[in-house]
Structure 1
Amino acid sequence: MTEHGGEVRNEVSGHVGGPVVQAGQIGSVVFHTPSGPPVEIPRQLPPPPRGFVNRAVELAALDDLLNADLLNTDGGAGVPLTVVVSGLGGVGKSAISRRWAHGVSDRFTDGQLYADLEGYRHGGGVEVGDVLGGFLRSLGVREEWIPAGLAERAALFRSRTAGRRLLVLVDDAHHAAEVVPLLPPSATSAVVVTSQRRLGGLVVDGARSIPLTPLTLDESLHLLSNLVGADRIAAEPAAGAELARLCAGLPIALRVAGARLIQRPSRLVSKLVAELADGRRRLERLSAEGDLSVEAVFETAYRGLPSVPARLYRLLGLLPLTTFSAGLAQAVLGREAEPYLETLLEAHLVEEPLPDRFRLHDLVRLHAARCAEREEPVADQEAALRAAASWYLGAVSAADRAIMGDRVRLAPEPPAPAEPFGSSGEALDWLEAERGNLLALLRLAASAGWHEFVWQCAEALWALYHQRKHYADWLETSRLGAESARELGYHAAEARMRNQLARAYIELADFPTAGRELDAAAGAAEAAGEPLLRAIVLESFGQAELAQNRPEAAAERFTRALEIHEAIGRRRGIGMQSYHLGLAHTRAGHAEEAVAAFQRAMSIMEERDDELSQGKIAIERAVALRHLGRGADAAASARQGLAVMRERRVAAKQIKALRILADLAADDGDREQERRCLEQALSVALASGNQAEADLLRERLT
């Protein structure tokens, strides 16, 4: 503020790099630096079951355990209350666990986490690392800070959950080892695990056990009365008791039987009992209470269906899917499916755990598959499976395009799905939700010899694996794709698949295996005679060299890839290889060459209006400019990149840009500016869940 001839002026001049406040008098000023979006408390519990009755003893036991073990603790780190709810399939383990969890959820102020382990199984085992990855994302850890290895993910999960009040519900565990990494180290947390097994390993280590047995006769009659009306059961007490006995105390069987009676209000209970008494259609391996089976219950419900929903039921039983959508059901049936899904829902043969996500209970799916094998011609069975595969291929390809944009693809573009994705985030979320189904379909297709589908779907799934780092899926899918491409003699596709496989091994630091796959990819690319594929494989070789801190070797690979892109006139490829070459030059200490490479890359990305790539290039260019002593230019480049990464919320790049600006301030002796940049970087690191980076920044600040 200056005074000129009695006139007071409020002026700002010179270069300003941060907030400015102009006022006549100021008492105090507080600047708030940006921190990332607020982290929401996870609320992952599935909806509570409808029409839940009985299980008062077990619910009370869960309450007693909670009151004794959780509320009497002083909190902090320790061992969470862990309860194993075990019992026969269909006995109601998930229902009681969800009912109880919703009743006590308000006691767990840091949220609730949920995982159905069936969707994470690989060859009988669970990819616990994928479960932990989902939990960490829900707890606010940014994707780029989630490590690849199981041990590292488990360690980060323990750090994020120590001392918190969390409720963790884990469905369908087969072994104690699947659960142990999911236990938060907090005496104020609770973990409920459902399993068809006793999980003795957890019990030995202190977990409490609540075995869930089939319902008693009185409990079964209570459930039936609640479903169809007490008067109707009381009118035929002997038939009602026999119906409860034939349903073997399984809630799912009782509900299906009740639905059958509801559909025909005038039907006698004794007539349904007579139908269920026929033991010729029992599921021999899935019995309860001696020789009693639930197959008759499912068969009776099935026989009461009209022809179209009955056929939909049969075809759904053939699909190796944990859940499915109405769109998939329509593709399999070949006509509008939602009205027939409603019929199956009413008969309790299909469940809808989430909006437009349907599923068959394990026992129901087995029965539906038997019906299909018995009544559907073999050709129609295969046609249904191929229809499902085709539907998924179209949806996965559309998701890939929504996420990755204009990248190199070998597969022809299939028909777009009926409902296109509204954003890249929506597409990525859909791929995440369908991940287990897609892997199951790929396995089935590979065993059936549907090689075109396998490699094309595997190519499109790069969008998911590159973003979310599901390494077990990534490796298996790419391997299946490579084998299918080889079976077809399609060298180009084999090169692409082996290159994708190698990129996973590079990220996992398994460089010998990555090298073998890249050698195979290079051979297939040569056999295909495709220069672009050779360039893609060369880029991956360069990535492997750079990951092993061999920048000169990396630069040689990137240069060869660049020459190919130049020869075929592919501008984006020229820009990307120039960027990679700049990284290698910087790592090797050749700052002038790095700046030149970055400048070329920047010009191309500006020409293509690729803002995200411009931001990445600007940050790396700042590093090289600093090495050349061009501090002002380096600061301008770092700020350019920082602005882009803040808008895109790319935490890792924000931190790098702020570190560069802090280093530049330190070079100039500006300790206050250095501290401000480091504090902003710390704020971003904490908000994104990068604890390791936060610790390093705190150390520097002290």
Structure 2
Amino acid sequence: MNGLGTDGGGSTHNTVSSTHNTVSGDAVIVGPLLMAQHIEGIQLPPPPPDVPPSQGPMPSRVFVNRTKELADLRDAALSLAAGPGPGVVLVVGVGGVGKTQLVAQAVRRELHERFPDGQLYVDLADHRRDGAVDLAAVLGEFLRALRVHKDYVPGGLAERTALFRSVAATLRLLVKVDNVQHAPEVRALVPPQGLLVATGRRVLPSLLMDGAVLIDVAPLDGAAGTELVRRWHADADEGTAADVVRLCAGHPLALRAALEWLAARPQLTLDDVVRDLTAGRYGTGDDGVREAMGMAMGAVGGTGEGGVGEAVDSVLDSVVAGVSGHTRHLYDLLGVLPGTTATADLLTAVGATGVDEGLGELLSCRLAVLVESSDRPRRYRLHDVVRAHARLRARALPEERRRAVLRLVVDFYADAAAHGDALVLGDRFRIQPPPVRPLSELAARGTLFTDRADALEWLDAERVNFRAVIRVAADEGWYEEVWRLCESLWALYHSRKHLADCVESGLRGIEAAQHQARPDVEIRMRNQVARAAYELGDLDRAESQLDAAADLLGLAGDPRLSGVVQESRGLIALARGRSEESPGAARERAEEARQLFERALAANRAVPDPHGIVVQSYNVAQALVAGERWADALGVLDEAAETARTTGDEPMLPRIDLVRAHAFAGLGALDRAVAAAGAAADAAAGLKQFAKLDQALELLTALADRAEDRPLRAACEEKLGALRRTMGLRPPAAPTA
């Protein structure tokens, strides 16, 4: 939240040098033609580069056999692409058998030409939480990849689904989805005019009933596997190569790992690999653990018999045993980490040495891969089959060692999130003190992030890891770190609208606060959950959280906590008022909201918190406008604007002017309403508050229509269309008054 508000006002105060219209007191009213010219002159940001997204793993240069599967995939894709509407292809096989690589090869060879508007990719394993996928987060990433500005990405799943379908309605898109487990996960991501290719480990009958085409990918047979081995080792004896294929059960991942390991040891031969795998030389030393690994790998492979899994297990045991000591230590640390990706900064923080060399060795052995990311640090992950192996190895570590590593992970993320929060939301009200460890100490070299934009990208890139870290901290009983993380991550969850994450983490934060007997923290956590539920449209859930928080206010000393609860209650009352059919009932809701915002305002004045005073005054004025008390609202807004200018709180000024424009319009003073909306548009453009600029232009269009000001309406419509095109949306339909 900013101050006590979360209206998005921000706390980074920018000075804007632009022409302002004065609309309080003796208003200076710009004539209709001049106002139209002024709107035409508002500078919009340049549109993003018109480059189609090209996401997903890169194809390997060495790829053998799969001739039938490639042909089947090509024929299915081309047939579906030629038909009406979207198409779905389901590629099924055991883990690590090469499904993703098969799709990458098909795209490189032929399919990319059929989908000129881009390729989107997601691995659903990164978004799965307790068996369910956060589809809203996936669609948010897709929309951003399609150049929809973050300010235009809505919070709820239904709204994101609708926007994705609208933006992609005329695009020929290829959507690639890995690790699908359930048919609804696929249906939600199908592009309206393109093709979705999903990979998974089992057939989904309901998807086939919808018309999806099934491609089955089996392990390589002896001939194909031998060809692959001899591609890597041209001088390999055919019989020896066949033995390697047999010992690896034709599993491409196991073959690749074994041959990459050998390539790094020129003193050894393929016969050495066969001998070592046959002898099981690199076992774990614990038959029980080895048996558990074999069973788990079989389950991961999905064969039902464990044959492929046991072969992969043996190969991975051999490869890991043959790497250097610090690389093996690094591998074991990766098995302990609760998330899915890691950076060199994190690995250094948890005690790894020779991190760069170790990561390089893991990459060369194909045990780890680089992950695409929009932020600066390089991110690494283990293939999910390898990750299962690493995590089973980690179970053999002494409990105190494993727990010590997890504690270092949690501390790293708690401090990093706090620094990120400070950069993103600035000087807002927080319960936790600033972290003792400076930001520079968290990075192996340089810093994790340098400014607000960097910090937000880093937090977003770590979102899946944060979820896992909060769960681990809760399970281990590190309750202070749980709520610290939850409080800091409001900067991410609210800015990027990861509302499901906010609810999940907030509920854990509530439990942590109760364990620590911290009513102040519990109030804060319940308010965050309530705000996320409010933005998701679940007003009943939001109110129940606020009721529980209100019961604790007598135990909390800081008046700002009362303010945040009253503000949230006021926003819910306004939302309920908008849905009331009776004008009288709507006015009653508006009056209820006004009283709640007045209490929040009083709480901010008691501190005092200047930004909170501005935000709550603005909220009071919104409630007055909703209650049709136009003149009263103008007085509150004039005072709020003066405080904002005095304290350098420029980001609130466009919001204040928007409400002022509605108040003037309610009084019938259309010229002043136009001037106020114009001032809001001007300031919002200067501050790059594009969502507020959009609102101002929409309001100006409606006001111009009421005033029968055709030049102004035409100017606003043209500017609004240009803005939405720049923001990644299609031009809007003509607004009505």
Shared fold (TM-score greater than 0.5)?
yes
The answer for the alignment partner of 1:318 in structure 2 is 336
Q: CA deviation at 1:334?
A: 4.6
Q: CA deviation at 1:85?
A: 1.0
SS in 2 for 1:115: strand
The answer for the alignment partner of 1:626 in structure 2 is 665
CA distance in 2, matches of 1:264, 1:579: 69
SS in 1 for 2:525: helix
CA distance in 1, matches of 2:87, 2:543: 46
The answer for the alignment partner of 1:520 in structure 2 is 548
Q: CA deviation at 1:147?
A: 4.2
8 Å Cα contact 2:297/2:306 also seen in 1:
no
The answer for the alignment partner of 1:57 in structure 2 is 68
2:460 to 407, 424, 432: 432
The answer for the alignment partner of 2:733 in structure 1 is 695
Structure 2 segments unaligned to the other structure (5+ residues):
1-29, 281-286, 578-588
1:198 to 196, 203, 225: 203
Residue deviations 1:545-580, cap 9 Å, x none?
A: 111112111110111111122122221211111111
- The answer to which of 623-632 and 337-346 deviates more is 623-632
Percent pairwise identity: 37
The answer for the alignment partner of 1:43 in structure 2 is 53
- The one-letter amino acid paired with 2:47 is P
1:413 and 2:413 equivalent? no
1:500 to 502, 522, 528: 528
The answer for the alignment partner of 1:81 in structure 2 is 87
- The answer to which of 169-178 and 101-110 deviates more is 101-110
SS in 2 for 1:548: helix
Give the TM-score taking structure 2 as reference length: 0.85
Q: CA deviation at 1:144?
A: 4.8
The answer for the alignment partner of 2:633 in structure 1 is 594
Residue deviations 1:477-519, cap 9 Å, x none?
A: 1100111111111111111000101111212232222112112
The answer for the alignment partner of 2:562 in structure 1 is 534
8 Å Cα contact 1:34/1:680 also seen in 2:
no
Question: Mapping of 1:640-655 within 5 angstroms?
Answer: 640-655=679-694
1:362 to 369, 381, 384: 384
RMSD value over aligned CA atoms?
A: 2.5
Residue deviations 1:80-130, cap 9 Å, x none?
A: 232111100010111111222233323312111111111111211112222
The answer for the alignment partner of 1:135 in structure 2 is 142
The answer for the alignment partner of 1:268 in structure 2 is 269
CA distance in 2, matches of 1:197, 1:312: 32
8 Å Cα contact 2:124/2:177 also seen in 1:
yes
SS in 1 for 2:335: helix
Question: Mapping of 1:331-410 within 5 angstroms?
Answer: 331-335=349-353, 337-354=355-372, 356-374=378-396, 376-410=397-431
8 Å Cα contact 2:297/2:389 also seen in 1:
no
8 Å Cα contact 1:83/1:210 also seen in 2:
yes
The answer for the alignment partner of 1:27 in structure 2 is none
Q: CA deviation at 1:37?
A: 4.5
1:295 and 2:313 equivalent? yes
Q: CA deviation at 1:207?
A: 1.1
CA distance in 1, matches of 2:335, 2:630: 62
Q: CA deviation at 1:138?
A: 2.6
Give the TM-score taking structure 1 as reference length: 0.89
CA distance in 2, matches of 1:593, 1:505: 31
Q: CA deviation at 1:666?
A: 4.4
2:576 to 529, 548, 561: 548
1:571 and 2:590 equivalent? no
8 Å Cα contact 2:261/2:319 also seen in 1:
yes
The answer for the alignment partner of 2:99 in structure 1 is 93
- The answer to which of 681-690 and 322-331 deviates more is 681-690
Question: Mapping of 1:209-228 within 5 angstroms?
Answer: 209-227=214-232
1:672 and 2:711 equivalent? yes
8 Å Cα contact 1:623/1:634 also seen in 2:
yes
Question: Mapping of 1:125-204 within 5 angstroms?
Answer: 125-186=132-193, 189-204=194-209
CA distance in 1, matches of 2:464, 2:37: 52
Residue deviations 1:149-185, cap 9 Å, x none?
A: 4334333322322342111111110011110111122
Residue deviations 1:217-269, cap 9 Å, x none?
A: 12222222233x211x12xx433221111111111111111122112212132
SS in 1 for 2:693: helix
1:615 to 654, 670, 675: 654
- The answer to which of 280-289 and 102-111 deviates more is 280-289
CA distance in 2, matches of 1:346, 1:644: 53
Shift of the 193–667 alpha-carbon distance from structure 1 to 2, 3 Å rule, reads closer
Q: CA deviation at 1:629?
A: 4.5
SS in 2 for 1:321: coil
- The one-letter amino acid paired with 2:562 is R
8 Å Cα contact 1:312/1:333 also seen in 2:
no
Shift of the 95–583 alpha-carbon distance from structure 1 to 2, 3 Å rule, reads same
Shift of the 144–207 alpha-carbon distance from structure 1 to 2, 3 Å rule, reads same
- The answer to which of 215-224 and 277-286 deviates more is 277-286
8 Å Cα contact 1:116/1:172 also seen in 2:
yes
CA distance in 2, matches of 1:372, 1:677: 61
Residue deviations 1:339-396, cap 9 Å, x none?
A: 221122222222223371111112222222233332x322111111111111112222
- The one-letter amino acid paired with 1:88 is V
- The answer to which of 670-679 and 563-572 deviates more is 670-679
The answer for the alignment partner of 1:26 in structure 2 is none
Q: CA deviation at 1:420?
A: 4.1
- The one-letter amino acid paired with 1:379 is E
Shift of the 324–178 alpha-carbon distance from structure 1 to 2, 3 Å rule, reads same
Q: CA deviation at 1:195?
A: 0.5
CA distance in 2, matches of 1:309, 1:33: 56
8 Å Cα contact 1:147/1:153 also seen in 2:
yes
The answer for the alignment partner of 2:505 in structure 1 is 477
8 Å Cα contact 2:181/2:202 also seen in 1:
yes
The answer for the alignment partner of 2:257 in structure 1 is 256
CA distance in 1, matches of 2:562, 2:67: 66
1:509 and 2:527 equivalent? no
Task: Tell me the number of residue pairs that the alignment of Structure 1 and Structure 2 aligns.
Answer: 665
- The one-letter amino acid paired with 1:526 is G
Residue deviations 1:570-610, cap 9 Å, x none?
A: 21211111111111111111112211111121122212222
1:17 and 2:17 equivalent? no
8 Å Cα contact 1:526/1:534 also seen in 2:
no
8 Å Cα contact 2:32/2:712 also seen in 1:
no
Q: CA deviation at 1:194?
A: 0.6
8 Å Cα contact 2:338/2:469 also seen in 1:
yes
Q: CA deviation at 1:669?
A: 4.0
8 Å Cα contact 1:491/1:524 also seen in 2:
yes
- The one-letter amino acid paired with 1:595 is L
Q: CA deviation at 1:696?
A: 5.3
1:230 and 2:241 equivalent? no
CA distance in 1, matches of 2:387, 2:354: 21
The answer for the alignment partner of 1:562 in structure 2 is 601
- The one-letter amino acid paired with 1:372 is A
8 Å Cα contact 2:56/2:176 also seen in 1:
no
The answer for the alignment partner of 1:9 in structure 2 is none
Structure 1 segments unaligned to the other structure (5+ residues):
1-12, 22-30
